[in-house]
């Protein structure tokens, strides 16, 4: 086989970024815009020893699961990768991904992976969106594997408030009210919209070069007006995120509120009719799919199997949402998070919900879990070493720090509930825990990110009786 060859092949699987995978003479071929079940004609554009990259020329026989994508930007924008695949097949594919990685990377024979908790609303589900500004004033998302911004006037994944704000900002750029020129002082490089469906409260975070935003008052009023007809959404907070240089991955130097409140508040109702309020600050993490967040936490609570006397260790706790959702079932909740603003939100969230059996500790869990437990002993005025413990960990995509896993293995909570958005790092960490005193029981994928290849999963590990 040579670069430039045209081949025909059956697509048998898909990658995490939505490429089709087929085999040709035992060589793995990755084909963009092809879906599982397609029979395609493709041109080899890159050839390696173990695989090749191919450009789709023609779908000779479409998969029975292929559908027409409902977005004009599909295949250009780097967002949705599965919008051309029937949703039921997406769910099946993701479950198989979790099973395969647990078997291959964690070494678990026949891992028990329950049916995916599918989303009732596979579109319009995101409560948070970050839009970038292009060199010509485009407002949208990056082209796949590129720094080019696609001007997206709509998006299948975003909610109504997010799209209205983005279109308003696009208009303000065209009118010259917002400066977007790369590198210039007060220029807008990106912005984030957080919209709470339960309360209708919206936060706008404007990322700018410099220290101030020109025409700030006019911009805020225009965005407020754009939300008037948006199903009850109202702008409640505007923050500036100050960056010292422009670039796709430039870090934020400082955050400051320029209009409205420091936080917005979401209201979430669970199936047992328990209702909680969660405050969200500009820098704090909050699950992007509120409806599926409820399903995720209810499955985590089922796996935690709390009896009322345990200490619940809520690690990588963010704004405290997971632990607070089941605080009424636990003896005490001890949360740990490295983002200071999130810890402030977590303690505030406990207070506004009248939850008195939860405290939150700021720091990296791998560095301060022991100190946090000592702090809890001081609060309770007793030794907690013999009190039963359950740990819930919800790390970022990179997975848990090995030092943290080592500490957990020494503390020996009866159960560990591991929430993960990356099946590969999940499998790696489960393998470590299985080698250090725990048994993997089962996992349940939860569809947090429809029409993309991402999948959240909740796994249960139990202290080994061997």
Residue 197 CA to residue 242 CA, distance in Å, equals 27
Q: What is the CATH number of the domain that holds 17?
A: 2.40.50.140
On whether residue 107 sits in a domain, the answer given is: no
Task: Write out the residue range of the structural domain in which residue 56 sits.
Answer: 6-61
3-state secondary structure of 392: strand
Residue 417 CA to residue 310 CA, distance in Å, equals 14
What would the pLDDT profile of 127-175 be if each residue is shown by its tens digit?
999 999 999 999 999 988 788 999 999 999 999 999 999 999 999 999 9
pLDDT averaged over the chain?
92
3-state secondary structure of 425: helix
Instruction: State pTM to two decimals.
Output: 0.90
Q: What is the pLDDT of residue 395?
A: 94
Is the same domain home to 307 and 448? Answer: yes
What would the pLDDT profile of 361-407 be if each residue is shown by its tens digit?
999 999 999 889 988 888 888 888 889 999 999 999 999 999 999 99
**Quick one: average pLDDT of 282-311?**
94
**CA 240, 219, 133: angle at the middle one, nearest 5?**
65
On whether residue 273 sits in a domain, the answer given is: no
Q: How many domains does the chain have?
A: 3
Residue 107 CA to residue 195 CA, distance in Å, equals 41
On whether residue 276 sits in a domain, the answer given is: no
The residues carrying an active-site annotation are 421
Residue 208 CA to residue 227 CA, distance in Å, equals 22
Query: What tokens were used for 222?
Result: 């225009």
Instruction: Kindly report the number of other CB atoms within 10 A of residue 188's CB atom.
Output: 24
Q: Which residues neighbour 250 within 8 Å (Cβ) at sequence distance 6 or greater?
A: 189, 243, 244
Q: What are the CA-CA distances from residue 389 to residues 271, 275, 329, 419, 463 (Å)?
A: 25, 25, 13, 17, 11
What would the pLDDT profile of 172-186 be if each residue is shown by its tens digit?
999 999 998 877 777
Question: 278: which strand partners?
Answer: 266
pLDDT category, 250, cuts 50, 70, 90?
low
Q: What is the pLDDT of residue 284?
A: 85
Is the same domain home to 145 and 220? Answer: yes
On whether residue 310 sits in a domain, the answer given is: yes
Domain boundary (45, 61, 77) is at: 61
Residue 132 CA to residue 124 CA, distance in Å, equals 19
Q: What is the pLDDT of residue 332?
A: 95
């Amino acid at each position: 086989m040579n670069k430039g060859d045209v081949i025909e092949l059956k697509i048998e699987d898909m990658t995490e970024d939505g490429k089709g995978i087929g085999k040709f003479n035992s060589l793995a071929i990755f084909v963009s815009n092809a879906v599982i079940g397609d029979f395609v004609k493709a041109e080899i554009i890159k050839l390696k020893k173990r695989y090749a990259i191919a450009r789709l020329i023609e779908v000779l026989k479409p998969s029975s699961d292929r559908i027409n994508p409902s977005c004009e930007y599909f295949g250009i924008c780097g967002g949705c990768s599965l919008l051309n695949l029937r949703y039921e097949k997406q769910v099946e594919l993701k479950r198989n991904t979790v099973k395969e990685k647990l078997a291959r990377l964690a070494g678990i024979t026949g891992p028990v992976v329950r049916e995916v908790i599918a989303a009732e609303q596979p579109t319009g589900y995101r409560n948070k969106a970050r839009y970038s500004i292009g060199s010509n004033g485009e407002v949208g998302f990056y082209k796949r594997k590129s720094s080019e911004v696609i001007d997206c006037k709509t998006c299948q994944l975003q909610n109504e408030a997010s799209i209205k704000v983005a279109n308003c900002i696009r208009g303000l750029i065209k009118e010259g009210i917002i400066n977007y020129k790369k590198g210039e002082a007060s220029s807008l490089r990106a912005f984030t919209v957080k919209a709470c469906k339960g309360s209708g409260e919206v936060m706008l975070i404007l990322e700018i070069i410099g220290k101030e935003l020109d025409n700030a008052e006019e911009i805020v009023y225009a965005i407020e007006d754009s939300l008037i007809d948006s199903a009850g959404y109202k702008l409640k907070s505007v923050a500036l995120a100050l960056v010292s240089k422009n670039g796709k991955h430039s870090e934020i130097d400082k955050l400051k509120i320029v209009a409205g409140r420091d936080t917005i508040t979401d209201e979430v109702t669970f199936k047992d009719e328990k209702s909680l309020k969660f405050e969200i600050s500009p820098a704090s993490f909050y699950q992007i799919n509120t409806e599926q967040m409820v399903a995720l936490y209810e499955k985590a609570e089922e796996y935690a199997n709390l009896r009322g006397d345990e200490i619940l260790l809520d690690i990588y706790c963010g704004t405290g949402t997971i632990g607070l959702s089941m605080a009424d079932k636990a003896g005490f909740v001890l949360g740990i998070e490295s983002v200071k603003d999130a810890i402030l939100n977590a303690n505030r969230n406990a207070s506004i919900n009248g939850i008195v059996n939860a405290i939150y500790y700021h720091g990296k869990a791998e560095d301060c879990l022991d100190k946090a437990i000592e702090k809890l002993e001081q609060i309770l005025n007793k030794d907690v070493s013999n009190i039963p413990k359950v740990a819930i960990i919800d790390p970022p995509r990179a997975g848990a720090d090995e030092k943290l896993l080592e500490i957990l293995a020494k503390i020996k909570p009866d159960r560990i509930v591991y929430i993960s958005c990356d099946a590969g790092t999940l499998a790696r960490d489960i393998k470590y825990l299985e080698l250090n005193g725990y048994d993997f029981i089962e996992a349940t994928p939860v569809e947090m990110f429809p029409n993309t290849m991402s999948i959240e999963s909740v796994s249960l590990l139990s202290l080994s009786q061997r």
